[in-house]
Amino acid sequence: MSRQILLGDEAVALGAVHAGLSAGYSYPGTPASEIMEYLIHLAGENKAFKATWSVNEKVAYEEALGVSFAGKRALVSFKHVGLNVAADPFMNSAITGANGGLLVVSADDPGMHSSQNEQDSRYYVQFAQIFGYEPSDHQEAYEMTREAFDLSERFGLPVLMRLVTRLSHSRSPVETRDARPQNELKKGAAKDWILLPVNARRRFGLLLDRQAEMVRFSDESRFNVLKLNEGDRSFGVIASGVAYNYFREAEAGEASLPSFLKVSTYPLPEGLIRRLVGHVDTVLVVEDGYPFIERQLKGLFGIAGKTVLGKLSGTLPASGELSPDIVRRALGRGPLPALEASGLPLAGRPPQLCVGCPHADTFKALNKALEGTSGSNVFSDIGCYTLGALPPYNAIHSCVCMGASIGMARGAADVGIRPAVSVIGDSTFAHSGITPLLGAAHADSDMTVIILDNATTAMTGGQPTYGSGERLLRLIEGLGVAKEHIRTIEPLPKHHDKNVQVIKDEIGHRGLSVIVAVRECVQEQRKRRS
Ligand code: SF4
């Protein structure tokens, strides 16, 4: 037993290693990146287990599924929208089942600190009809991770753990225990893993048969805690995940607590919920994310004569992160004492590209080349270069999801938008830009794709990229783009005029062209030289 101060993400990584992890896979994305960063650190020089960044989340999931097929324990981690990318193998792995323990960690971002939505991964647990954990603190993140691998093997199913930014990115002491050894190789039976309809129907039946056992396990889980206040039957609280801490903090110093149920596992512990709801007249549901529990209370349980308060009732805000003060207000208490903000006239600091960033020079050249055209036709993607939407560049006009820029530019070009331009980074291109470019090359769509090759996944901290340099150029040619319309530029102020001309020439071409802007991220350059 030892005690360490860990990030929530690190507690998960260490819990997985101590549970006998054989391999971990991930694609970077805030707030989940630190899980893989720490796994790589823990794997160390002697590579005690496999820990690697994958090309995208779907690939990461499939790599982890292969490990599970082989009977070993695997972890796959990503941010919540990464689970959308991995949704196909995720949903189908609930049918194939897991052989070696398979833990999926999806880190949600309530409040959208660095995300394009605040979707709640608990719906994926329900959608796939598997078991899910939601830790409320770092110790639970460690303990639940250890337990999740055992449970995955017991049910023969993948297990999902939902984290949120506030837990992933805060630090707290964690008591750790001895590591168990890795599993021996033991391949899965092909009749379970080949999802021909005859097998899939049988496997889906098994999944449905396990539902009642999962609810029982949830009801008996040590992570769900029910406390009934026998002296007060008027009001109770159901709190899940980190929101449970906000509830406890809000009640700190009060003479007695209302009845409460801490929910940390899914499917919901129905028996515990019935006992809490049966004990009180009004229930407040405190959960970070969507009103997942609140909706089920109102629907599934049909609690006539009871009042359910939460996000749907307007007692708590429907969007954004919860906080101790927000929960205090919902409980009818005033805000906690706080220090006054300083009166210093601090300047606002909107996010911006680093000084000397190569993207800045590309955007300046692109803006110049587009002068006099109809404008508003630059489709972009997710990376540091999304900041090109802001002044002084105002250079891009869309950012939807990983890889969307190329498909969107093609669609716009198909219906007559001209010029149609896509701007995408090298890592995002490798993630999910290759397939839409294959389609655009096949159709010779009238559009120009600009790939910003800075040789890294910069926005999430400089993880490796799979498509950079000569390899990237060969890949583009291999997809069928005409060699004479694959151009490279070096985005530097001294090349501005030349770069503008290259972009103008390729925009003028009535067909597909690809321009690769090659210059290393200045932050990575600094790291390399230090
Ligand atoms: S981290 Fe690199 S790519 Fe991102 S803004 Fe800074 S220099 Fe540009």
**CB atoms near residue 394 (< 10 Å):** 13
Strand order in the sheet with 259-263: 225-227, 259-263, 235-240, 282-286, 307-309
Most ligand 1 atoms within 8 A of CB, residue of 114, 354, 361, 393 to mutate:
354
pLDDT at 300 (0 to 100): 56
**CB atoms near residue 171 (< 10 Å):** 13
**DSSP H/E element including 261:** strand 259-263
316 with 326: CB under 8 angstroms?
Answer: yes
Most ligand 1 atoms within 8 A of CB, residue of 114, 362, 363, 384 to mutate:
384
End-to-end CA, the chain: 37
Residue 399 C-alpha to ligand 1 middle, in angstroms?
Answer: 17
Between CA 138 and CA 201 the distance in angstroms is 39
User: Atom 1 (ligand 1): residue with closest C-alpha?
Assistant: 458
State how far Cα 270 lies from the chain centre. Answer: 28
Ligand 1: nearest atom to the Cα of 358:
8
Q: Which residues have C-beta within 8 Å of that of residue 434, sequence separation ≥ 6?
A: 467, 475, 479
User: Atom 5 (ligand 1): residue with closest C-alpha?
Assistant: 353
Which tokens go with 324? Answer: 């101790």
DSSP string, 29-46: -TTTHHHHHHHHHHHTTT
User: Atom 2 (ligand 1): residue with closest C-alpha?
Assistant: 521
Q: Which residues have C-beta within 8 Å of that of residue 298, sequence separation ≥ 6?
A: 308, 312
Q: Which residue intervals of 354-403 are DSSP H helices? A: 358-370
User: Atom 8 (ligand 1): residue with closest C-alpha?
Assistant: 357
506 with 515: CB under 8 angstroms?
Answer: yes
Residue 258 C-alpha to ligand 1 middle, in angstroms?
Answer: 50
298 with 266: CB under 8 angstroms?
Answer: no
Ligand 1: nearest atom to the Cα of 353:
5
Ligand 1: nearest atom to the Cα of 352:
5
DSSP class of 310: S
Tell me how many degrees the CA angle 163-166-172 measures, rounded to the nearest 5: 95
Ligand 1: nearest atom to the Cα of 462:
1
Most ligand 1 atoms within 8 A of CB, residue of 427, 454, 525 to mutate:
454
User: Atom 4 (ligand 1): residue with closest C-alpha?
Assistant: 384
Q: What does the pLDDT profile of the chain (530 residues) look like in tens digits? A: 799 999 999 999 999 999 999 999 999 999 999 999 999 999 987 788 999 999 999 999 999 999 999 999 999 999 999 999 999 999 999 999 999 999 999 999 999 998 999 999 999 999 999 999 999 999 999 999 999 999 999 999 999 999 999 999 999 999 999 999 999 999 988 889 999 999 999 999 999 999 999 999 999 999 999 999 999 999 999 999 999 999 998 887 778 899 999 999 999 999 999 999 999 999 999 999 999 999 999 875 556 678 999 999 999 999 999 999 999 999 998 887 888 877 888 888 888 999 999 999 999 999 999 999 976 689 999 999 999 999 999 999 999 999 999 999 999 999 999 999 999 999 999 999 999 999 999 999 999 999 999 999 999 989 989 989 999 999 999 999 999 999 999 999 999 999 999 999 999 999 999 999 999 999 999 998 88
Residue 321 C-alpha to ligand 1 middle, in angstroms?
Answer: 28
Between CA 378 and CA 89 the distance in angstroms is 32
Residue 409 C-alpha to ligand 1 middle, in angstroms?
Answer: 24
Nearest to 436, CA basis, from 479, 486, 469, 398: 479
Residue 334 C-alpha to ligand 1 middle, in angstroms?
Answer: 43
Most ligand 1 atoms within 8 A of CB, residue of 521, 526, 527 to mutate:
521
Between CA 134 and CA 144 the distance in angstroms is 8
Query: What are 203-213's pLDDT values in tens digits?
Result: 999 999 999 99
Residue 390 C-alpha to ligand 1 middle, in angstroms?
Answer: 15
**CB atoms near residue 404 (< 10 Å):** 21
Between CA 421 and CA 275 the distance in angstroms is 59
Ligand 1: nearest atom to the Cα of 360:
8
Between CA 363 and CA 22 the distance in angstroms is 44
Pocket of ligand 1 (CB under 6 A): 353-354, 357, 359, 384, 454, 458, 521-523
106 with 83: CB under 8 angstroms?
Answer: yes
Q: Which residue intervals of 135-184 are DSSP H helices? A: 138-155, 165-168
Residue 38 C-alpha to ligand 1 middle, in angstroms?
Answer: 23
Ligand 1: nearest atom to the Cα of 384:
4
Residue 345, preceding bond cis, omega within 30 degrees?
A: no
Ligand 1: nearest atom to the Cα of 359:
8
Amino acid at 206: L
Residue 353 C-alpha to ligand 1 middle, in angstroms?
Answer: 6
User: Atom 7 (ligand 1): residue with closest C-alpha?
Assistant: 357
Half-sphere exposure of 33 (CA within 13 A, CB side): 13
Ligand 1: nearest atom to the Cα of 356:
7
Residue 352 C-alpha to ligand 1 middle, in angstroms?
Answer: 9
Between CA 51 and CA 17 the distance in angstroms is 11
Most ligand 1 atoms within 8 A of CB, residue of 523, 524, 528 to mutate:
523
Global pTM exceeds 0.85 = yes
